[in-house]
Structure 1
Amino acid sequence: MPYLVRHTSPAAPALRLVCFPHAGGGASYFRGWARHLAPSVELLAVQYPGRESRFTEPLVGEMAPLAEAVSTELAAEPPLPTVLFGHSMGAMVAYEALLRLEASGATHFTRLCASGHALDATPAGVAEDTDAELIASVKALGGTNAAVWDSPDLSEILLPIIRNDYRLIDTYRRAPGTPLLRAEVRAFSGDADPRITPEQAALWAGATKGPFSAHLFEGAHFYLTDHAAQVAHHAVAGL
Protein backbone atom coordinates (compact mmCIF):
# COMPACT_ATOMS: atom_id res chain seq x y z
CA MET A 1 0.00 0.00 0.00
CA PRO A 2 1.10 3.61 -0.49
CA TYR A 3 3.00 5.49 2.19
CA LEU A 4 1.10 8.73 1.59
CA VAL A 5 -2.40 9.30 2.97
CA ARG A 6 -4.22 12.28 1.47
CA HIS A 7 -6.22 14.16 4.10
CA THR A 8 -7.23 17.00 1.74
CA SER A 9 -7.37 17.22 -2.06
CA PRO A 10 -7.79 20.85 -3.19
CA ALA A 11 -8.85 21.32 -6.81
CA ALA A 12 -6.02 23.81 -7.33
CA PRO A 13 -3.46 23.27 -4.56
CA ALA A 14 -0.94 26.05 -3.94
CA LEU A 15 1.09 24.32 -1.26
CA ARG A 16 1.63 20.79 0.09
CA LEU A 17 2.21 19.88 3.75
CA VAL A 18 3.43 16.34 4.41
CA CYS A 19 3.37 15.16 8.04
CA PHE A 20 5.51 12.34 9.47
CA PRO A 21 4.18 10.70 12.68
CA HIS A 22 6.01 9.89 15.90
CA ALA A 23 7.08 6.42 17.07
CA GLY A 24 4.00 4.23 17.29
CA GLY A 25 1.93 6.85 15.48
CA GLY A 26 -0.09 6.75 12.30
CA ALA A 27 -1.28 9.10 9.59
CA SER A 28 -4.60 9.71 11.36
CA TYR A 29 -2.82 11.77 14.03
CA PHE A 30 -2.67 14.69 11.57
CA ARG A 31 -6.13 14.37 10.04
CA GLY A 32 -7.54 17.19 12.17
CA TRP A 33 -4.95 19.64 10.89
CA ALA A 34 -7.07 20.11 7.76
CA ARG A 35 -9.36 22.53 9.61
CA HIS A 36 -6.39 24.72 10.57
CA LEU A 37 -5.04 25.14 7.04
CA ALA A 38 -6.12 27.27 4.11
CA PRO A 39 -8.32 25.43 1.55
CA SER A 40 -5.49 25.65 -0.98
CA VAL A 41 -3.10 23.57 1.17
CA GLU A 42 -2.89 19.89 0.27
CA LEU A 43 -2.43 17.92 3.50
CA LEU A 44 -0.77 14.51 3.34
CA ALA A 45 0.52 12.26 6.10
CA VAL A 46 2.91 9.33 5.99
CA GLN A 47 1.55 5.93 6.96
CA TYR A 48 4.34 3.67 8.15
CA PRO A 49 3.78 -0.07 7.57
CA GLY A 50 2.35 -2.16 10.38
CA ARG A 51 -0.31 0.23 11.70
CA GLU A 52 -3.76 1.60 10.91
CA SER A 53 -4.56 0.95 7.22
CA ARG A 54 -1.26 -0.94 6.83
CA PHE A 55 -1.60 -3.09 9.93
CA THR A 56 -1.06 -6.39 8.11
CA GLU A 57 2.24 -5.27 6.54
CA PRO A 58 5.63 -6.00 8.13
CA LEU A 59 7.14 -3.27 10.26
CA VAL A 60 10.21 -1.49 8.90
CA GLY A 61 12.99 -1.57 11.47
CA GLU A 62 15.70 0.54 9.81
CA MET A 63 15.81 4.18 8.77
CA ALA A 64 17.33 3.82 5.29
CA PRO A 65 14.63 1.69 3.62
CA LEU A 66 11.88 3.71 5.30
CA ALA A 67 13.26 7.07 4.17
CA GLU A 68 13.96 5.70 0.70
CA ALA A 69 10.40 4.41 0.27
CA VAL A 70 8.83 7.68 1.42
CA SER A 71 11.11 9.85 -0.69
CA THR A 72 10.34 7.75 -3.77
CA GLU A 73 6.61 8.32 -3.36
CA LEU A 74 7.07 12.01 -2.64
CA ALA A 75 9.18 12.40 -5.77
CA ALA A 76 6.33 10.97 -7.82
CA GLU A 77 3.86 13.65 -6.64
CA PRO A 78 3.24 16.59 -8.99
CA PRO A 79 5.77 19.36 -8.20
CA LEU A 80 4.35 21.84 -5.73
CA PRO A 81 5.98 23.94 -2.98
CA THR A 82 6.20 21.33 -0.21
CA VAL A 83 6.78 21.46 3.55
CA LEU A 84 7.82 18.33 5.44
CA PHE A 85 6.74 18.30 9.09
CA GLY A 86 7.96 15.47 11.29
CA HIS A 87 7.37 14.94 14.99
CA SER A 88 9.77 12.98 17.22
CA MET A 89 10.87 9.92 15.21
CA GLY A 90 9.06 11.49 12.27
CA ALA A 91 11.43 14.47 12.33
CA MET A 92 14.34 12.21 11.47
CA VAL A 93 12.42 10.24 8.84
CA ALA A 94 11.42 13.54 7.20
CA TYR A 95 15.02 14.77 7.36
CA GLU A 96 16.40 11.61 5.78
CA ALA A 97 13.69 11.66 3.09
CA LEU A 98 14.53 15.28 2.31
CA LEU A 99 18.24 14.50 2.00
CA ARG A 100 17.36 11.93 -0.65
CA LEU A 101 14.99 14.25 -2.47
CA GLU A 102 17.53 17.05 -2.62
CA ALA A 103 20.22 14.62 -3.78
CA SER A 104 17.93 13.65 -6.67
CA GLY A 105 17.74 17.31 -7.76
CA ALA A 106 14.26 18.16 -6.45
CA THR A 107 13.94 21.86 -5.60
CA HIS A 108 10.29 22.20 -4.60
CA PHE A 109 10.74 20.78 -1.09
CA THR A 110 11.26 24.18 0.48
CA ARG A 111 11.02 23.63 4.24
CA LEU A 112 11.63 21.01 6.91
CA CYS A 113 9.85 21.41 10.25
CA ALA A 114 11.65 19.22 12.78
CA SER A 115 9.54 18.79 15.92
CA GLY A 116 10.38 17.20 19.25
CA HIS A 117 13.68 15.58 18.30
CA ALA A 118 17.30 16.68 18.44
CA LEU A 119 19.41 16.45 15.30
CA ASP A 120 21.91 14.09 16.89
CA ALA A 121 19.88 12.83 19.82
CA THR A 122 21.26 10.51 22.46
CA PRO A 123 19.42 7.18 22.10
CA ALA A 124 16.63 6.79 24.64
CA GLY A 125 17.72 3.20 25.19
CA VAL A 126 14.28 1.81 25.98
CA ALA A 127 13.72 -0.42 22.94
CA GLU A 128 14.98 -3.47 24.82
CA ASP A 129 13.15 -2.68 28.08
CA THR A 130 10.57 -5.04 29.52
CA ASP A 131 6.98 -4.54 28.37
CA ALA A 132 6.11 -2.82 31.65
CA GLU A 133 9.09 -0.47 31.40
CA LEU A 134 8.34 0.36 27.78
CA ILE A 135 4.70 1.13 28.58
CA ALA A 136 5.82 3.37 31.44
CA SER A 137 8.13 5.28 29.08
CA VAL A 138 5.36 5.80 26.54
CA LYS A 139 2.91 6.92 29.21
CA ALA A 140 5.45 9.41 30.56
CA LEU A 141 5.56 11.15 27.18
CA GLY A 142 1.77 11.41 27.03
CA GLY A 143 1.34 10.65 23.35
CA THR A 144 -0.98 7.67 23.55
CA ASN A 145 -4.22 7.62 25.51
CA ALA A 146 -3.18 5.95 28.77
CA ALA A 147 -6.38 3.91 28.79
CA VAL A 148 -5.26 1.83 25.81
CA TRP A 149 -2.51 0.30 27.93
CA ASP A 150 -5.10 -1.00 30.38
CA SER A 151 -6.39 -3.30 27.66
CA PRO A 152 -4.27 -6.46 27.26
CA ASP A 153 -5.51 -6.88 23.69
CA LEU A 154 -4.56 -3.35 22.64
CA SER A 155 -1.25 -3.55 24.47
CA GLU A 156 -0.42 -6.74 22.59
CA ILE A 157 -1.04 -4.92 19.30
CA LEU A 158 0.77 -1.71 20.14
CA LEU A 159 3.86 -2.96 21.93
CA PRO A 160 5.60 -4.50 18.88
CA ILE A 161 5.00 -1.29 16.92
CA ILE A 162 6.38 0.94 19.67
CA ARG A 163 9.35 -1.33 20.26
CA ASN A 164 10.14 -1.46 16.53
CA ASP A 165 10.04 2.32 16.18
CA TYR A 166 12.11 2.97 19.30
CA ARG A 167 14.72 0.51 18.05
CA LEU A 168 14.71 2.17 14.62
CA ILE A 169 15.40 5.62 16.03
CA ASP A 170 17.84 4.37 18.67
CA THR A 171 19.99 2.64 16.04
CA TYR A 172 19.86 5.54 13.57
CA ARG A 173 22.94 7.69 13.09
CA ARG A 174 23.53 10.39 10.54
CA ALA A 175 26.03 9.27 7.95
CA PRO A 176 29.49 10.88 8.12
CA GLY A 177 29.76 13.73 5.64
CA THR A 178 25.98 14.20 5.33
CA PRO A 179 25.48 17.28 3.12
CA LEU A 180 23.74 20.39 4.34
CA LEU A 181 20.15 20.81 3.26
CA ARG A 182 19.24 23.57 0.83
CA ALA A 183 15.74 23.88 2.31
CA GLU A 184 14.77 26.12 5.19
CA VAL A 185 14.64 24.38 8.58
CA ARG A 186 12.29 25.25 11.43
CA ALA A 187 12.77 23.53 14.78
CA PHE A 188 9.65 23.07 16.93
CA SER A 189 9.65 21.95 20.56
CA GLY A 190 7.72 22.09 23.83
CA ASP A 191 9.16 24.09 26.72
CA ALA A 192 8.69 21.14 29.10
CA ASP A 193 9.78 18.35 26.75
CA PRO A 194 12.13 15.94 28.57
CA ARG A 195 13.52 14.73 25.23
CA ILE A 196 14.81 18.02 23.78
CA THR A 197 15.90 21.36 25.22
CA PRO A 198 15.69 24.69 23.38
CA GLU A 199 19.49 24.60 23.09
CA GLN A 200 19.32 21.19 21.39
CA ALA A 201 16.55 22.38 19.08
CA ALA A 202 18.76 25.28 18.01
CA LEU A 203 21.39 22.82 16.76
CA TRP A 204 19.15 22.09 13.77
CA ALA A 205 20.62 25.30 12.35
CA GLY A 206 23.70 23.24 11.56
CA ALA A 207 21.72 20.95 9.22
CA THR A 208 21.08 23.53 6.51
CA LYS A 209 22.68 26.29 4.50
CA GLY A 210 19.21 27.80 4.16
CA PRO A 211 17.27 29.90 6.67
CA PHE A 212 16.69 28.59 10.20
CA SER A 213 14.31 29.49 13.00
CA ALA A 214 13.29 27.89 16.29
CA HIS A 215 9.75 27.89 17.67
CA LEU A 216 9.03 27.07 21.31
CA PHE A 217 5.54 26.11 22.47
CA GLU A 218 4.05 25.58 25.89
CA GLY A 219 3.87 21.88 26.75
CA ALA A 220 5.80 18.63 26.93
CA HIS A 221 6.72 16.14 24.21
CA PHE A 222 3.27 16.16 22.64
CA TYR A 223 2.77 19.92 22.89
CA LEU A 224 1.36 19.88 19.35
CA THR A 225 -1.79 18.03 20.44
CA ASP A 226 -2.97 21.10 22.36
CA HIS A 227 -1.52 23.63 19.92
CA ALA A 228 -2.41 22.03 16.59
CA ALA A 229 -3.76 25.21 15.03
CA GLN A 230 -0.71 27.27 16.02
CA VAL A 231 1.75 24.58 14.93
CA ALA A 232 0.04 24.02 11.58
CA HIS A 233 0.09 27.79 10.98
CA HIS A 234 3.80 28.09 11.76
CA ALA A 235 4.58 25.07 9.56
CA VAL A 236 3.34 26.79 6.40
CA ALA A 237 3.60 30.49 7.32
CA GLY A 238 5.31 32.68 4.75
CA LEU A 239 4.92 30.29 1.83
Structure 2
Amino acid sequence: MVCVPYAGGGASAFWDWAELLGESVELWCAVLPGRERRFAEPAVTEAARVSAPLAEAIRAEIAAPVVLFGHSMGGLIAFDVARRLGGQVEHLVVSAAKAPHLPFGGEPHLLDDDGLLGWMTTLGGVPADLLAHRDVLGLLLPTLRADLTVCAGFHGTRDVLDVPITAFCGTDDPLATAADVAAWRHHTVAGFDLVVRPGGHFYLKDDPAAVTSVVRSVTAKEGVQ
Protein backbone atom coordinates (compact mmCIF):
# COMPACT_ATOMS: atom_id res chain seq x y z
CA MET A 1 0.00 0.00 0.00
CA VAL A 2 1.26 3.46 -0.92
CA CYS A 3 0.26 6.48 1.19
CA VAL A 4 0.32 10.03 -0.18
CA PRO A 5 0.32 12.93 2.35
CA TYR A 6 -1.89 15.98 2.65
CA ALA A 7 -0.90 19.54 1.66
CA GLY A 8 2.16 20.60 3.61
CA GLY A 9 2.49 17.14 5.15
CA GLY A 10 5.05 14.41 4.79
CA ALA A 11 5.49 10.68 4.77
CA SER A 12 6.05 10.72 8.53
CA ALA A 13 2.30 11.18 9.00
CA PHE A 14 1.89 7.48 8.12
CA TRP A 15 4.94 5.89 9.76
CA ASP A 16 2.87 4.56 12.67
CA TRP A 17 0.54 2.78 10.27
CA ALA A 18 2.96 -0.06 9.59
CA GLU A 19 2.25 -1.64 12.98
CA LEU A 20 -1.48 -0.97 12.73
CA LEU A 21 -1.74 -2.54 9.28
CA GLY A 22 0.16 -5.64 10.30
CA GLU A 23 2.71 -7.81 8.55
CA SER A 24 0.38 -8.77 5.72
CA VAL A 25 0.56 -5.25 4.24
CA GLU A 26 3.78 -3.75 2.90
CA LEU A 27 3.57 -0.01 3.59
CA TRP A 28 5.21 2.58 1.35
CA CYS A 29 4.99 6.33 2.04
CA ALA A 30 5.54 8.94 -0.66
CA VAL A 31 8.08 11.68 0.11
CA LEU A 32 7.10 14.64 -2.08
CA PRO A 33 9.31 17.59 -3.12
CA GLY A 34 9.74 20.35 -0.54
CA ARG A 35 9.58 18.28 2.66
CA GLU A 36 11.56 15.86 4.79
CA ARG A 37 14.62 14.50 2.98
CA ARG A 38 13.54 16.40 -0.16
CA PHE A 39 13.21 19.71 1.68
CA ALA A 40 15.85 21.38 -0.50
CA GLU A 41 13.78 20.72 -3.63
CA PRO A 42 11.15 23.33 -4.48
CA ALA A 43 7.58 22.13 -4.11
CA VAL A 44 5.72 21.98 -7.41
CA THR A 45 2.41 23.57 -8.33
CA GLU A 46 1.23 21.16 -11.05
CA ALA A 47 -0.26 17.77 -10.22
CA ALA A 48 1.44 16.03 -13.13
CA ARG A 49 4.87 16.97 -11.80
CA VAL A 50 4.04 15.05 -8.62
CA SER A 51 1.91 12.18 -9.89
CA ALA A 52 3.92 11.26 -13.00
CA PRO A 53 7.25 10.58 -11.22
CA LEU A 54 5.39 8.93 -8.33
CA ALA A 55 3.62 6.59 -10.74
CA GLU A 56 6.94 5.79 -12.41
CA ALA A 57 8.53 5.00 -9.04
CA ILE A 58 5.64 2.72 -8.06
CA ARG A 59 5.79 0.93 -11.39
CA ALA A 60 9.54 0.38 -10.99
CA GLU A 61 9.70 -0.53 -7.31
CA ILE A 62 6.41 -2.11 -6.23
CA ALA A 63 4.84 -5.28 -7.56
CA ALA A 64 1.13 -5.33 -8.28
CA PRO A 65 -1.42 -5.36 -6.80
CA VAL A 66 -1.22 -1.90 -5.21
CA VAL A 67 -3.66 -0.02 -2.98
CA LEU A 68 -3.28 3.77 -2.98
CA PHE A 69 -4.26 5.89 0.04
CA GLY A 70 -4.28 9.67 0.04
CA HIS A 71 -5.48 12.23 2.57
CA SER A 72 -6.81 15.59 1.34
CA MET A 73 -4.38 16.68 -1.41
CA GLY A 74 -2.96 13.18 -1.23
CA GLY A 75 -6.30 11.77 -2.34
CA LEU A 76 -6.24 13.88 -5.50
CA ILE A 77 -2.63 12.93 -6.23
CA ALA A 78 -3.41 9.25 -5.60
CA PHE A 79 -6.32 9.53 -8.05
CA ASP A 80 -4.00 10.95 -10.70
CA VAL A 81 -1.46 8.21 -10.00
CA ALA A 82 -4.19 5.58 -10.37
CA ARG A 83 -5.09 7.03 -13.77
CA ARG A 84 -1.48 6.59 -14.87
CA LEU A 85 -0.93 3.10 -13.44
CA GLY A 86 -4.12 1.55 -14.74
CA GLY A 87 -4.45 -2.14 -13.91
CA GLN A 88 -1.59 -2.15 -11.41
CA VAL A 89 -3.89 -0.42 -8.88
CA GLU A 90 -6.43 -2.69 -7.20
CA HIS A 91 -8.09 -0.11 -4.95
CA LEU A 92 -8.04 3.65 -4.37
CA VAL A 93 -8.71 4.97 -0.87
CA VAL A 94 -9.26 8.73 -0.56
CA SER A 95 -9.69 10.65 2.67
CA ALA A 96 -11.01 14.15 3.44
CA ALA A 97 -10.81 15.09 -0.23
CA LYS A 98 -13.51 16.62 -2.40
CA ALA A 99 -14.20 14.72 -5.60
CA PRO A 100 -11.90 16.12 -8.30
CA HIS A 101 -14.69 17.56 -10.43
CA LEU A 102 -15.70 19.89 -7.57
CA PRO A 103 -14.05 23.29 -6.94
CA PHE A 104 -11.51 23.16 -4.14
CA GLY A 105 -13.07 26.26 -2.56
CA GLY A 106 -11.80 29.47 -1.00
CA GLU A 107 -8.55 29.75 -2.98
CA PRO A 108 -6.38 29.51 0.15
CA HIS A 109 -3.23 29.39 -2.00
CA LEU A 110 -3.83 33.08 -2.81
CA LEU A 111 -3.90 34.19 0.85
CA ASP A 112 -0.95 36.02 2.39
CA ASP A 113 1.19 34.12 4.89
CA ASP A 114 -0.86 35.11 7.93
CA GLY A 115 -4.11 34.26 6.18
CA LEU A 116 -2.77 30.92 4.98
CA LEU A 117 -1.51 30.03 8.43
CA GLY A 118 -4.86 30.96 9.96
CA TRP A 119 -6.70 28.86 7.39
CA MET A 120 -4.58 25.80 8.10
CA THR A 121 -4.80 26.30 11.86
CA THR A 122 -8.59 26.39 11.66
CA LEU A 123 -8.52 22.99 9.97
CA GLY A 124 -6.31 21.60 12.74
CA GLY A 125 -3.32 21.05 10.48
CA VAL A 126 -0.74 23.00 12.51
CA PRO A 127 0.55 21.40 15.73
CA ALA A 128 0.16 23.73 18.72
CA ASP A 129 3.86 23.56 19.60
CA LEU A 130 4.76 24.70 16.09
CA LEU A 131 2.69 27.88 16.24
CA ALA A 132 5.24 29.49 18.54
CA HIS A 133 8.01 29.06 15.97
CA ARG A 134 7.18 31.54 13.22
CA ASP A 135 10.64 31.18 11.68
CA VAL A 136 10.04 27.46 11.10
CA LEU A 137 6.52 28.09 9.83
CA GLY A 138 7.93 30.59 7.37
CA LEU A 139 10.01 27.82 5.83
CA LEU A 140 7.02 25.48 5.53
CA LEU A 141 4.45 27.88 4.09
CA PRO A 142 5.84 27.92 0.51
CA THR A 143 5.39 24.15 0.29
CA LEU A 144 1.87 24.39 1.72
CA ARG A 145 0.99 27.14 -0.77
CA ALA A 146 2.35 25.11 -3.68
CA ASP A 147 0.41 22.04 -2.59
CA LEU A 148 -2.83 23.99 -2.37
CA THR A 149 -2.19 25.33 -5.87
CA VAL A 150 -2.03 21.69 -7.00
CA CYS A 151 -5.41 21.08 -5.34
CA ALA A 152 -6.99 24.10 -7.02
CA GLY A 153 -5.80 22.83 -10.39
CA PHE A 154 -7.94 19.69 -10.18
CA HIS A 155 -11.22 21.60 -10.54
CA GLY A 156 -13.29 20.15 -13.35
CA THR A 157 -11.45 16.82 -13.65
CA ARG A 158 -14.08 14.23 -14.59
CA ASP A 159 -12.05 11.13 -15.42
CA VAL A 160 -13.53 7.79 -14.38
CA LEU A 161 -11.46 4.85 -13.13
CA ASP A 162 -12.03 1.14 -13.52
CA VAL A 163 -10.80 0.84 -9.92
CA PRO A 164 -12.91 0.51 -6.75
CA ILE A 165 -12.87 3.62 -4.54
CA THR A 166 -13.34 3.82 -0.78
CA ALA A 167 -13.75 7.38 0.48
CA PHE A 168 -13.42 8.59 4.09
CA CYS A 169 -14.78 11.82 5.50
CA GLY A 170 -15.04 13.51 8.88
CA THR A 171 -18.47 14.50 10.18
CA ASP A 172 -17.32 18.04 10.97
CA ASP A 173 -14.91 18.69 8.12
CA PRO A 174 -15.49 22.25 6.81
CA LEU A 175 -13.31 21.68 3.75
CA ALA A 176 -14.65 18.35 2.44
CA THR A 177 -18.20 17.61 3.56
CA ALA A 178 -19.79 14.17 3.39
CA ALA A 179 -21.59 15.22 0.19
CA ASP A 180 -18.32 16.46 -1.34
CA VAL A 181 -16.59 13.17 -0.55
CA ALA A 182 -19.56 11.02 -1.59
CA ALA A 183 -19.25 12.59 -5.04
CA TRP A 184 -16.21 10.37 -5.65
CA ARG A 185 -18.76 7.73 -6.68
CA HIS A 186 -18.90 9.50 -10.04
CA HIS A 187 -15.23 8.68 -10.67
CA THR A 188 -15.40 4.89 -10.70
CA VAL A 189 -17.26 2.15 -12.52
CA ALA A 190 -15.85 -0.54 -10.24
CA GLY A 191 -17.61 0.01 -6.92
CA PHE A 192 -17.73 2.73 -4.27
CA ASP A 193 -17.94 2.85 -0.47
CA LEU A 194 -18.25 5.88 1.81
CA VAL A 195 -16.93 5.71 5.38
CA VAL A 196 -17.93 8.54 7.74
CA ARG A 197 -15.83 9.06 10.86
CA PRO A 198 -16.35 11.52 13.73
CA GLY A 199 -14.10 14.57 13.61
CA GLY A 200 -12.86 17.33 11.35
CA HIS A 201 -10.47 17.51 8.43
CA PHE A 202 -7.78 15.63 10.30
CA TYR A 203 -10.15 13.09 11.86
CA LEU A 204 -7.70 10.25 11.12
CA LYS A 205 -5.25 11.58 13.74
CA ASP A 206 -7.87 11.01 16.47
CA ASP A 207 -8.27 7.29 15.88
CA PRO A 208 -5.86 5.96 13.25
CA ALA A 209 -6.66 2.35 14.19
CA ALA A 210 -10.27 2.83 13.08
CA VAL A 211 -9.03 4.03 9.68
CA THR A 212 -6.38 1.37 9.22
CA SER A 213 -8.82 -1.40 10.12
CA VAL A 214 -10.95 -0.43 7.11
CA VAL A 215 -7.86 -0.11 4.94
CA ARG A 216 -6.63 -3.50 6.13
CA SER A 217 -9.94 -5.08 5.16
CA VAL A 218 -9.64 -3.49 1.72
CA THR A 219 -6.13 -4.87 1.21
CA ALA A 220 -7.26 -8.31 2.37
CA LYS A 221 -10.18 -8.24 -0.05
CA GLU A 222 -7.92 -7.22 -2.93
CA GLY A 223 -5.21 -9.71 -1.99
CA VAL A 224 -2.57 -7.00 -1.53
CA GLN A 225 0.62 -8.02 0.27
- The structure with the largest helix share of the pair is 2
| Counterpart contact for 2:20–2:212, Cα < 8 Å | yes
SS at match of 1:65: helix
Give the aligned partner of residue 73 of structure 2: 89
Paired residues in the alignment total 217
Deviation of residue 233 (structure 1)? 1.6
Q: Distance in 2 between matches of 1:168 and 1:35?
A: 31
Deviation of residue 174 (structure 1)? 4.6
2:17 equivalent to 1:30? no
**TM-score normalised to the size of structure 1?**
0.86
Give the aligned partner of residue 44 of structure 1: 28
Q: Distance in 1 between matches of 2:55 and 2:156?
A: 17
Q: Distance in 1 between matches of 2:83 and 2:156?
A: 11
Deviation of residue 57 (structure 1)? 1.1
Deviation of residue 196 (structure 1)? 1.7
Deviation of residue 149 (structure 1)? 2.5
Deviation of residue 193 (structure 1)? 0.5
Deviation of residue 19 (structure 1)? 0.5
| Counterpart contact for 2:173–2:199, Cα < 8 Å | yes
Q: 2:119 aligns with which of 120, 137, 141?
A: 137
Give the aligned partner of residue 60 of structure 2: 76
Q: Distance in 1 between matches of 2:112 and 2:180?
A: 29
| Counterpart contact for 2:103–2:156, Cα < 8 Å | no
Render the CA deviation track for 1:7-57: whole Å, top value 9, x for unaligned. xxxxxxxxxx11010000000100000111121210011111111111111
| Counterpart contact for 1:86–1:93, Cα < 8 Å | yes
Q: Given residue 209 of structure 1, which amino acid in structure 2 is its aligned partner?
A: V
Structure 2 residues not aligned, in runs of 5+: none
SS at match of 1:80: coil
Q: 1:163 aligns with which of 139, 145, 150?
A: 145
Q: Given residue 49 of structure 1, which amino acid in structure 2 is its aligned partner?
A: P
SS at match of 2:195: strand
* Range 166-175 or range 210-219, more displaced: 166-175
**TM-score normalised to the size of structure 2?**
0.92
Give the aligned partner of residue 188 of structure 1: 168
Alignment identity in percent? 35
Give the aligned partner of residue 192 of structure 2: 212
SS at match of 1:150: coil
Deviation of residue 172 (structure 1)? 2.6
Q: Distance in 2 between matches of 1:175 and 1:205?
A: 14
Give the aligned partner of residue 40 of structure 2: 56
Q: Given residue 157 of structure 1, which amino acid in structure 2 is its aligned partner?
A: L
SS at match of 2:180: helix
Tell which has more relative contact order, 1 or 2 (C-alpha 8 A, sep 6+): 2
Which residues of 2 match residues 121-132 of structure 1 at below 5 A? 121-123=102-104, 124-132=106-114
Structure 1 residues not aligned, in runs of 5+: 1-16
Deviation of residue 168 (structure 1)? 1.7
